Amino acid sequence: MKLFITVKPKSRREKVEKTDNGYVVYVKEQPVDNKANLALIRLLSEHFGVPKSQITIVSGMKSKHKVVGIKNFSGE
């Protein structure tokens, strides 16, 4: 399953919101040294109830707009 994600780094609260175009994920970490990407994977893992090893960033490693793949998951 592929998800379209917009990441909002340096947020006060961490949360995952579903929108018409995909998801908006708010993370506390700054987009430095891959910290925001790791926080994104952690939050998606908690939100969808899948192991972190099943989540990969397909494209957008250095962008706020990402495509994320989740293996062995059919949907929310």
* pLDDT attached to residue 75: 65
pLDDT at 50 over 80: yes
| Average pLDDT value for the chain | 94
At residue 7, what is the residue type? V
Q: Return the pLDDT at 27.
A: 97
At 63, the pLDDT band (50, 70, 90 cuts) reads very high
Q: What percent of the chain has pLDDT over 90?
A: 92
**Residue 55 is encoded by which pair of tokens?**
């989540």
- 29 pLDDT above the threshold of 80: yes
pTM: 0.91
Run of H or E including 42? helix 35-48
CA 12, 17, 20, 22 torsion: positive or negative? positive
**Which two three-digit tokens encode residue 73?**
């998951």
Return the structure tokens found at 69: 């793949």
72: left (phi over 0), alpha (psi -120 to 50) or beta: left
